[in-house]
Structure formats: structure tokens, C-alpha cells
Structure 1
């Protein structure tokens, strides 16, 4: 496999891929997810689909599921309307065989076993890299079917601070607000974005009996912050924080000993938080070191809006499921001549589960090494 020489700011696994300009003046797309190193999409052996920010704005998807459904080999099963539990299948593999990354940080639920797609609004995404096919040699068993790397919005200009506001409204009580402030200079750039969306929704069931005849609403708040700083030509750091919370109504029995006796509107409250810090260091002309530390939290809980004031006061709720995943990665890339790159690295992953249910084991660790030529 032929790789291009690594640049001084060689990308991390989570780094934003950037286009290269060829000698003919054409823009060439590069990816990092397929091999953990920056490589032209024309040279990647695995099937890869890339959605740039221009593609996302052109498609204008309501959610991440609608965007990913445009890629070949990807299918979904969603249990209800927007915000409902969604299973993703890449090339027919099981839903827990696809690894979801947010800027290189692993995101997912240890109890559900599949990645969470509800809390990643397209408005805060800059780029999506989809690699179909087994990547387990580089990422572990979660990547049997493929890898999806969500790269959040960042700022790349160097000419001061720029604000941005977008307002929209539609039928079914739909409103959406996106606001951002970005700024930077030659060495430091930052981006702060926020989103609020609310809709009354539509009824997602054909039955109109009992509580199945109401509309199923959706509400979401999200914030994304990133900052990068270049110390010199050989050292750069980047920090990320993203938090998203959503409420999704659905039709089912209520939480009570005799649910048919109570009228309520159940909904799922889910939260995803991602934080990451990475450093890129060019230790010599042919040796690049990348260090990454990240943590993600995936939490979901079923709640109920009871019409009976006595039940409202009782504050009856469903079970809580929370997964906290910590990740530490070190990766070394050596440029061996013009056409060869040797990659050696290691990764430590720790998963912890906090739930109202009792599990025999609520924590697991995984230490792994990877090599590639």
C-alpha cells in the first residue's frame, strides 16, 4: 500500500482530514480513519464515503441517521420517531459491530452495545468519514463491520472573531436555533456553537386507541466547543467538548403496577457528552507522535408525564443506564522512504456502567497494541 509522506502536522486518528492540492491543481480528498494515518482517498483500499460540510448543507438532513443513510451499505432500524433508539447496520453486520467515533473518541453504550446517534446534530458536524468493512486490526472488535468518524465543527481562519446565527421554523410547532462564535489567529483558533430544536412531531403509530393517538414530540439542546493551539512547527494541541441532551416522546404503557389505569405521556431523556485532548508532535523529520486522551458518557432514562397530579408528585421514573468510557492512545508513525509508513501504537479503554439495575460486572478494561506497514 502506497502512502504519501507525512507532513509536519500529520493528522491524528481524530484529526480533521483536509484536501490536498495535486500538481494539476485538483483538490484531492484525504482520510485518516481507514488507516489511522493521513492518506488520499484514491489510495485507500477499504470502501470509504466522506461527507464534507458542503455535502451536509446541500443534503440538509434532519438528523445524523438521515445523513448516514445516503451512504452505500448502511441501513437502520428505528423504534419510533426522531430521537428513538436506533440500530445501525453496515454491510449487514450486527449493530454492535460498528464503531462510532467523535473526533477520535469512542462513543457508545456498554449496556445497549450499539452507538448512540440521537444526540449528534448535523448542524454541529463538519465532516463524516465512513469506512465499510472490517477494521478490527486497528480498532478492536467493535469495528468488525466498519468505523464511522464524526468530526465536529472547527474554525480554520485567522482573521479575528466571527459570529453566526440561524433561525428557522416550520409546521407541527417546529423551531430551531443555531448560534456560533468563532475566532483565531495564525497560532490559535476556537469555535463555540450551540443548538436548540423543538417540535411537536407527528404520531408515529397507526393505532389511535388509548394513549397511542397523540403526537410524539422531540426536543434537543447541544453545545460544541473546540480550541487548537500551535506552539511551533513541531507541536500542536487540540481540545474538544461536546454535550447534547434530547427528549423523545413515544407510545407505550406507563410505568405503574397496572399501567392501563393511568394516562401518561412517556418519553426518553438521553444525553451524550464527549471530551477529548490530543497532541501532535513531530519528533524528527520522519517520526511523528500522537497522544490522545478522551472520555465519553452515554446516558438514557425513561420518564413519564402523568396527567394525574398525584402520580406527578410521586415522580415515577424508569430505569437509568449510563456508560462512561475513557480512552488513552499513543501512536508513532515513521516515514520509511518515499512510499512506506510504519505505525506502532497502543490503546487503553475503560468502560464503567452506572444503572438502577444490578449487573454482575459494571466495569471492564481493554489494553491493546496495533501495528501497520
Structure 2
């Protein structure tokens, strides 16, 4: 009802925006699934044939989006929530209500580790580097392992080209931050060689919202990459790449202007090599070997002021060092069975330092006293993960296909250093007392080991051309990380203690789905029900202390729906919508108020008008919406809420040139200046009305 009332109120302006695209007839080609390739099942397939819920953001969609971050590109995918952590430059992803630390972030199939964070992995890659993004919704632990409990974001980067020398130059302007984004790529392919080198730079100022400028919200990003491969034979390809991502991010809170987080820098470096052999034998069509090294460093200042009474600065310097290798083999067993089997190893190393400086000032009996407390923590440890997996696809009679798989994972965790010490110094009556030194509880050292099997099975029927129906069951799990098991956390108003006895989190998901792509109609529908157990949650021990325990459960059910239809005159009305409800349960309370909006989506009309062979006009008029969201948490229980919202948006662009190599796109977002937040408890409002512009040149 809220959505309908909003539409009635904005009917005239929406009609004017839509009229931009009804000025001439057009022809839009229907979606061809053979042009949308997906590697979500670890072997490249057409989207119609993938036996799981997956959405794909294509290279063309990324090229048309002026978004400066990957999170901005993903925000309209059914089942996905974008969390901004109080910063426009720091986006994390929740899938089907599962928090970001239960969502696996992959770049070219290799994960980004985060061993000292309660918020999960961030998206440390620039959109200019990306060929496509695959979003797997629901547990994908059989194929991808721990953290893939809620789903997977698999980012596939751009590689080589088809001509000896090619290039792409892109620049965009964001009106909400008065910021610019530039990138340049040179790439090509010649006599078996393929190469690409890319550089990108982004600088965005503080965000402009309907509530005014969001203090401490600016960020900048700089990134570069280089790729090279060579086809030694038609069957053997060897290659490698290097990537570097650097960012400086500020995060703030509209309610407490004297609080901010300064992450300078947050950077990622990666080097990887691979070898792929195709058609080894008639029964071994593919063998793939990968190895990589990745370094992730985050330096962070958490600044808190409470009037003139207290000043607290927490400095963190966290380094995650990763080494990984994998071997995957594809087997054709007879005419009706295809087996994918592989082994993966990953070492996630942590080297972290945290310094906490507190200056407290008080007056007692007219005497001013200042107390300075400086506490230092050091942590070193690592996690080794070994995994064997196998997934079989069997063709059955009557157009049925059965996919079934298993993964066995072994995780050993080692914390070798967990040290803390402090210095306390008091100044009073104009005198500074000698400092007092002592030890501080930093957590624990030790070694733990655990193993976990997971299974999945999906039955698919494709007895009607261009239609696929599926029913499936899948399991997910998440192994506790070093933060959960060994490290004390004191940021955020309390102390959270680790627990070496934690078990892996687990979930079971049942899913029904349908896809249809033909005659101008595209349809993707998924219904799901998930039961999760042994969630790791911080349970309160006292007024200011908590401890991680396997005490929480969740039940989630919902429907994800995407549809579009190509009308005779070239316009395509479409809808992407999610209905979802989630119940959370721990030893203290049970609630449906979990911070998950019941309804979210985007709906509108796209248009494509090919004027001639060298000019296309494109457009999109649409709304985004979300229902009211409530979050109940804490002891005593407190409910936080955010209002329902609807925004109106419009885009208009052209592609021109002999090969349509020039693209200019302009958009106006949040036309009616709606004040809203994406999630309950968000620290800053989303942008107000603003315009973006993007220009791209290919040569």
C-alpha cells in the first residue's frame, strides 16, 4: 500500500520521465541465453542450464553503470542487500538475509580473506576491472567451501582481446559526491598471446543527502592490473596476472558527528598463475591448475569523542597474507554423466596490531584529573584449509538431469601470538604521575582442528524448449575464523571474548525454481526455505562483556522474481523483486524483526532504439523500493526501524560510431529527493536527487 500511495503521488513526474523514452518506435532483441555464460557450477554453461539460483551482471550492464563501487552495481539483484557500514566507499553484501561474513567474495574464483573483522569481506576491486559478476544465492559450500553459507559473489575480471591492439577509456561524474572516476585499459590478442593492462582512479567527496552533507563519507580508490596468457597449443593455455587495489575511506555517523573511522589505506595485492589443458582425452575434457598469493592490509583509526570528558582513538594495522592452490578435473563418464572433481588448499595468515589510546578527564572536589590509558595488542596466526569436492551431472530419461555433489573440508586454526600490555598515567593538580605498566588480556593462543562434509542435490527438467524447472537441496557451513576463536574485540562499546570450542555454523536449504527465455519473455523465479543452526553470536556475560557462542538459529523463506517482456515497439517492461521473511532465535529471544525488509525491488521500462547501423538510443525509467524494516536486538531488547521508501529514477544514453564504440550515459537518481537508508540502523542517509554522467570510448 505504501508503494501504491507513493506511485499515485508521483504519477505525473514519473510519466514525464517515462516520456523521454516513448518519443520513437524501437526494436529490442530478446534475451539470448547462449550469450550469457555462467561459471557458477565450476564449468561454463548457458544461464538456462545452471542448476542453482544465480544472477549475472554482464559486461554491457557494467559499462552502462556510472557506479563507482561494485556494491552500487549489485544493489538491484533479487535477494541481495548492500550494506554501507556508514561509508559510501565501503560496501558489503548480504544475501537472503545472511550477514556479509556468511557471504563468500571471490575474484576469479579465489577468495578475499578477512580474519579480523566482525563485518565480513569487502569488495576490494574497481568496476573497470570487471568482465561480469555472478551472484550465487543460497548455500554454495559444496563447490566453494566455507563462508559460502548465504551465497557467493564471484567477480570475473577482464582478460585479453580479439585484435592485436585494443583499448577502452572511461570517465564518469557522480553528482552526489561531486567526484570523478577514470579508467584506461589496453588489451589485445595475437598469435596465441592475450594481454590486458588496466589503471583506474576514483575520488569522491562527502556525500550530499536530503539531510545535508554526510560528514566523513568521502573516499578514493586507485587500482591497476596486468594479465598475460599464451596458447602453447590449441589444447594448452598458460597465463598469469597481477592486481593492486588501494583505497582511503572515511566512515561517519549522522547522529554522532564527533565519531569517525578513517581507513587509510585498505589495499589488496594479488599475483596468480594458471594452466588449463582442454581435451586431454575423450573422457578428460578439461584439467585446470591455479595458484595465487594475495596480501590484504587495512590500517584503521576509530575516533570517539564524548564531550570534553573522554577521547578514544583505536588504531588497527591488520595484514592478511594468503597462499592458495587448486586442481580441478572434468570427466566425461559415458554419454550421460559429467563429473567435476577437485582439490583446494588455502592458507590465511594474520599479522595484526591494535593500539587503543583513551584520554579521560574528570573533576572531583574542584580538582581536574586527566587519565591516559594506552593499550597495545599483537596477534599472529593462520588457518589452513584443505578440501576435496565432486559434483556429478547425470542425464536421465524424459529430459531430466540430476546434479549431486559432496565436499569434505578440513580446517586447522593456529594462533601463535596473542599479547597485550598497557600503560596508565594520571595527571592531577598540575603534576604528572609516573606511568604504571601492566599486561592486558588479548585473547588466547592455541590450535584447533575441525572437518565438515556438505552435500547437495538438484533435479532439473527441460522437456519444453527454453524452459527449465528445478528442485534442489543444498547445505552450507561456515568455519569459525581467528577472530571468533582467539581474539578479544573491544571496539563498539563493549568487550567480546573469543571461544576456542566453537563449532562450524550450518544450514539446509530447499529450493524450487523456473527459468524461461524465449519469444521476448525472460523469466527467472525461485522460492526457497532455509534453516540455519549453530550461528555464532556474542552473548552477554555482564553489562559490558560478551562471548562468542553457538547459540543462534534462523529460518528464512522467500521468493526471488525477475521478468521482462519485449513489446512490439521495442520497449521492455521489467521487474526484479524479492519477498523474504526471516526469523532469528537464540537463547534469549525469538523475533521476526531481523533487519530484513519484507519487500525490495526495482521495476520500470527499458528501451532500445537503433536509429541506424552507427547509432543506438537507450533509456530506462524505473523505481526502486523497500518496505519498512525493523530490527530487534540486545538485552534488554530494543527495536530499531527504518521507514519504507520509493525512489524514481531515469537514464538516457547513446551508443554511436562505426562500431558503436562511443557510449554516453546520463541518469537522474532519486528524482523526488527521498530521505531514506538502505538498512535499519544505517549511519548515513542515501544520496538525494542527483545526476550522473559516464562516457566510454573503445578503440
Identify the range of structure 1 (63-72 vs 294-303) with the bigger mean alpha-carbon deviation: 294-303
Aligned position for 1:17: none
Aligned position for 2:236: 235
Matches within 5 A, 1:164-313: 164-169=168-173, 171=175, 172-202=177-207, 214=215, 216-251=217-252, 267-269=262-264, 270-282=266-278, 283-287=280-284, 288-303=286-301
DSSP 3-state at the match of 2:218:
strand
CA distance in 2, matches of 1:72, 1:348: 32
How many angstroms does 1:236 deviate by? 0.6
Q: Does 1:81 align with 2:76?
A: no
Matches within 5 A, 1:331-342: 331-342=328-339
How many angstroms does 1:55 deviate by? 1.2
The answer as to whether partners of 1:63 and 1:121 remain within 8 angstroms in 2 is yes
Aligned position for 1:161: 165
The answer as to whether partners of 2:82 and 2:94 remain within 8 angstroms in 1 is yes
Q: Does 1:98 align with 2:103?
A: yes
Q: Per-residue displacement from partner, 1:222-252 (whole Å, max 9, x unpaired)?
A: 1121112110022112212211111112337
Aligned position for 1:31: 38
Gaps of 5+ in 1: 1-24, 253-259, 306-315
Gaps of 5+ in 2: 1-31, 304-312, 355-376, 393-699
How many angstroms does 1:126 deviate by? 0.9
- Check 1:111–1:205 CA distance in 2 against 1; reply closer, same or farther (3 A cut): farther
CA distance in 1, matches of 2:151, 2:48: 18
How many angstroms does 1:204 deviate by? 7.5
CA distance in 2, matches of 1:170, 1:47: 33
Identify the range of structure 1 (347-356 vs 281-290) with the bigger mean alpha-carbon deviation: 281-290
How many angstroms does 1:107 deviate by? 1.0
The answer as to whether partners of 1:53 and 1:126 remain within 8 angstroms in 2 is yes
Match of 2:381 among 354, 362, 372: 362
CA distance in 2, matches of 1:74, 1:281: 36
Q: Does 1:63 align with 2:69?
A: yes
The answer as to whether partners of 2:34 and 2:46 remain within 8 angstroms in 1 is no
CA distance in 1, matches of 2:146, 2:379: 22
Aligned position for 1:371: 390
- Check 1:144–1:292 CA distance in 2 against 1; reply closer, same or farther (3 A cut): same
How many angstroms does 1:175 deviate by? 2.5
Q: Does 1:48 align with 2:60?
A: no
Match of 2:114 among 109, 112, 115: 109
TM-score (norm 1): 0.78
The answer as to whether partners of 1:242 and 1:274 remain within 8 angstroms in 2 is yes
- Check 1:66–1:217 CA distance in 2 against 1; reply closer, same or farther (3 A cut): same
- Check 1:76–1:247 CA distance in 2 against 1; reply closer, same or farther (3 A cut): same
Aligned position for 1:9: none
The answer as to whether partners of 1:135 and 1:146 remain within 8 angstroms in 2 is yes
Q: Per-residue displacement from partner, 1:300-333 (whole Å, max 9, x unpaired)?
A: 112599xxxxxxxxxx982111212221101111
Aligned-residue CA RMSD (Å): 2.8
DSSP 3-state at the match of 2:147:
helix
- Check 1:323–1:205 CA distance in 2 against 1; reply closer, same or farther (3 A cut): farther
CA distance in 2, matches of 1:92, 1:123: 28
How many angstroms does 1:80 deviate by? 1.5
- Check 1:55–1:166 CA distance in 2 against 1; reply closer, same or farther (3 A cut): closer
Q: In proportion to residue count, which structure has more strand?
A: 2
How many angstroms does 1:339 deviate by? 3.2
- Check 1:302–1:360 CA distance in 2 against 1; reply closer, same or farther (3 A cut): closer
- Check 1:264–1:228 CA distance in 2 against 1; reply closer, same or farther (3 A cut): same
Aligned position for 2:315: 318
The answer as to whether partners of 2:187 and 2:196 remain within 8 angstroms in 1 is yes
CA distance in 1, matches of 2:351, 2:83: 26
- Check 1:363–1:265 CA distance in 2 against 1; reply closer, same or farther (3 A cut): closer
